[in-house]
Structure 1
């Protein structure tokens, strides 16, 4: 029963793992230097996964009692995530080093991927009948 309730988080984990492998492979294949990054790819994926998991735990908790408000709760959670991610992104935006453009793109790709995963999984959650 616990597995069935938290299957969404398992799907999120597999989406994150697959995208991490592809993301890391692109860095290795194109030999993109990432030693001077503020945040490693692993750390970014961990941070985004933790925030997405927390959001889905909240959504799953309120799914049974407040199903009609899941969409608004998702939007509010996404807004709070964006607020925290801005503070994570701030050191990257302030730095004027030559390699910062790659790190900015890296951060935004990860952000957009997780936003896509969260949106798709929330849509799937909303389409399920109670």
Structure 2
């Protein structure tokens, strides 16, 4: 097992851990109550982290077989991830309460955060060929 091949997964775990800690600190500092959320922060981080790990496992397998198809694989796997996240978000979109608005913002912020992390790490994988 070559650890260098799995460096994007290690970076993903590190960045997700730092983001989680920062997220909890911000919620504590602004006294935001997340107990009434439909999905807890921990559940969402595990969901997004699991999906991101699956995306990178696919990308690393594609990298081994055909380096030129990494970009298209990233787009496809991200699209599938987005559909799955919409299905998870649908109960929140149908309900309309004041606390729900904060939860929706939280969900979208986490989605964008993990999308940005995945994009940066995929760019690093693509730059390895140079």
* Correspondence for 2:115: 115
* Correspondence for 1:129: 129
* Correspondence for 2:28: 28
* Correspondence for 1:47: 47
Give the distance between the partners of 2:110 and 2:44, measured in 1 at CA. Answer: 7
* TM-score of the pair, normalised by structure 2: 0.96
Give the distance between the partners of 1:34 and 1:120, measured in 2 at CA. Answer: 29
Give the distance between the partners of 1:64 and 1:82, measured in 2 at CA. Answer: 25
Counterparts of 1:1-130 in structure 2 under 5 Å?
Answer: 1-129=1-129
- Segments of structure 1 that go 5 or more residues without pairing to the other structure are none
Give the distance between the partners of 2:36 and 2:94, measured in 1 at CA. Answer: 14
- Segments of structure 2 that go 5 or more residues without pairing to the other structure are none
Q: Measure how far apart 1:4 and its partner are.
A: 1.5
What root-mean-square deviation, in Å, do the aligned CA atoms of Structure 1 and Structure 2 show? 1.0
Aligned length: 130
Give the distance between the partners of 2:64 and 2:57, measured in 1 at CA. Answer: 12
Q: After superposition, what is the alpha-carbon deviation per residue over 1:67-101, rounded to whole angstroms, capped at 9, x for unaligned?
A: 11100000000000000000110111111122111
Q: Which stretches of structure 1, 4 residues or longer, exceed 6 Å deviation after superposition?
A: none
* TM-score of the pair, normalised by structure 1: 0.96
